[in-house]
Amino acid sequence: MKLLYLQARLVQLFEENTYSVVNIFDVTLRPQLNLTGVVEVPEGNGSGIVWDGLGHIVTNYHVIGSSLSRNPSIGQVVARVNILASEGVQKNFEGRLVGADRAKDLAVLKVEASEDLLRPIKVGSSSSLKVGQLCLAIGNPFGFDHTLTVGVISGLNRDIFSQTGVTIAGGIQTDAAINPGNSGGPLLDSKGNLIGINTAIFTQTGTSAGVGFAIPSSTVSKIVPQLIRYGKAVRAGLNIEIAPDLVASQLNVQNGALILQVPKDSVAAKAGLIPTSRGFAGNIILGDVIVAVDNKPVKNKSELSKVFEDYNIGDEVVLQIRRGSETLELPLKLEQQMV
């Protein structure tokens, strides 16, 4: 039977990309009674993608979160990775930890698989996506291997409330069905290019309710090479302590990021940023309040972090700060943010 063009195209996209999608089982090493050594116990499962021909596999942090909560060392086995071979059988490999970033819900594993098994995903751009654009999700929901769901991009620049407990900015919203096991799998455009990593569903039942989210490929392309090279994400920042929103509100700072502490001899100190302090009578003297970076408004601590995501270490920025009743501009270079 001859398929309609759209149907034939979807079949082609699935067949071309399914070999780039892997099944991942979180593995935790536990002592076993009456035995020496340890045994590997699967604790959860999700999806992942083949990133390159060197065996790097990208998935969500929370997919292997149980293993990561035990603070494994780089190179330690934290997962089992099933890769689909051309003959249609699943081949099982140890997934060794390369790096992980909880803040972006991303992790990279390494498998020792032959090059003919590794079919890297084609990474596309998420910067020019449009609402209404066709998209496809491939994953392993509920343990069913390599399942395809189709939908459209329903929204852009969404805040994703990740299962790692953090908020990820710039997320892609889709109505393509995303269920448990889809996490870590690819969201593709109609050309078969990766535009996001599926990471969350918005539902109270734990199953797809027509609202799913993906980490945009622009974020993935920035973080993954850092995880491969350094084992962690390297972010630009100021290395100063910013007041939490509740503290800032209690100090009557309603708009901007209030600086609490500035380390001596830091870039921020040399630029002249002033921390919050106490006067001789014990009264609180407010420090500088960052209200904008390169004219990009900053309302609070989280917005300051989001703004810095667009910069690299060594970039020069101009901070607009409120100091008492004055508004000043201070130029400085961003440094590596120490976590």
Bridge partners of 38, per DSSP, are 31
Q: Give the H or E element holding residue 277.
A: strand 277-278
Phi and psi (nearest 5°) for 207?
Answer: -125, 165
What residue type is 131 in one-letter code?
V
Task: Spell out the alpha helix ranges (H) of the chain.
Answer: 5-17, 65-68, 217-230, 245-250, 267-271, 301-308
**What is the Cα–Cα distance from 137 to 21, expressed in whole angstroms?**
10
Other beta carbons less than 10 A from residue 255's beta carbon: 12
- Determine the 3-state secondary structure of 335 from DSSP: strand
What distance lies between CA 126 and its chain's CA centroid?
14
Contact 291, 303 (CB under 8 A): no
Which residues touch 6 (CB under 8 Å, ≥6 apart)? Answer: none
Contact 50, 154 (CB under 8 A): no
Verify whether residue 101 is a known catalytic residue: no
CA dihedral sign of residues 109, 112, 118, 122 = positive
> How buried is residue 183: exposed, middle or buried, by Cβ count under 10 Å (0-12/13-18/19+)?
buried
The tokens describing 50, both together, are 């083949």
**What is the Cα–Cα distance from 295 to 324, expressed in whole angstroms?**
19
Active-site position among 62, 67, 126, 288? 62
Active-site position among 101, 105, 189, 288? 105
Active-site position among 154, 183, 217, 305? 183
HEC readout, 17-57: HHHHEEEEEEEEEEECCCCCCEEEEEEEEEEEEECCCCCEE
Verify whether residue 26 is a known catalytic residue: no
Verify whether residue 66 is a known catalytic residue: no
What distance lies between CA 143 and its chain's CA centroid?
23
Which residues are designated catalytic?
62, 105, 183
